[in-house]
Amino acid sequence: MENIFPVDIANRKFPRSFRGYARREVDAFREQVASALEEALAENKRLRQEAEELQKRLQGYRSMEDTLKEALVLAERTAEERREHAMREGQTILERARLEAEEIVHEARNQVERYRAESEHLLRLRARFEAEFVGLLTTYQQMLHGNGQNESKTGPPEPSTQVAPTSNPDQTG
């Protein structure tokens, strides 16, 4: 199909024939058709431009949509990674705290054991001292009550290893 422009319609001349159409009506109709075609072509051009503009905007929106989708996926991935990191860090902190608590309990038990051993050692030393002291007192008491003749020849008595009954120093009487 050949492209027809409004100018072609307006300038088109038809040969005259003996019984042809009324010239004024044909010319008026040609002008009318040319004007309508010109308006239709202008409207067509405007609509094509508008369609192109809308297509460009649509492409821009699609591009923005893709960018937003990528950003959303990245944000979700980042949030998940941070959550996992926080969980791992929390587990590490809990494990360290548990190990420190175990170490503190272990040290406390060792300290208690050292204090108990030292206390038992001191109690044994006290009992030994008390026994020796009682023995010494007994010896001196015997010396004071009449055995003085014997002892002056032999010198000071040796501490006795016998344990004499003693009063409990924790009891006050």
pLDDT for 85-99, tens place per residue? 999 999 999 999 999
- Dihedral Cα 134, 136, 139, 140, nearest 10 deg: -110
Percent of all residues in the chain with a pLDDT value above 90, rounded to a whole number: 59
Report how far Cα 31 is from the mean position of its chain's Cα atoms: 80
Looking at residue 135, what is its pLDDT? 94
In a domain, 100, yes or no: yes
State the average pLDDT for the chain: 84
What's the domain count of the chain? 1
Cα(14)–Cα(22) distance, rounded to whole angstroms? 12
The whole-number pLDDT of residue 173 equals 40
Range of the domain at 72: 6-143
Helices first, then strands: H and E counts in the chain: 3, 0
Q: Considering the domain boundaries, does residue 172 fall inside one?
A: no
Provide the CB-side half-sphere exposure for 38 (13 A, CA): 11
Q: Is residue 73 domain-resident?
A: yes
Q: Write out pLDDT tens, residues 17-47.
A: 767 777 777 778 788 888 888 888 899 999 9
pTM of the model: 0.41
Asked whether residue 163 is assigned to any structural domain, the reply reads no
CA distance 10 to 20: 19
Q: Span 132-152, mean pLDDT?
A: 80
In a domain, 165, yes or no: no
Residue 133 falls within a domain, yes or no? yes
Asked if residue 114 is part of any domain, the answer here is yes
Whether 151 is in a domain gets the answer no
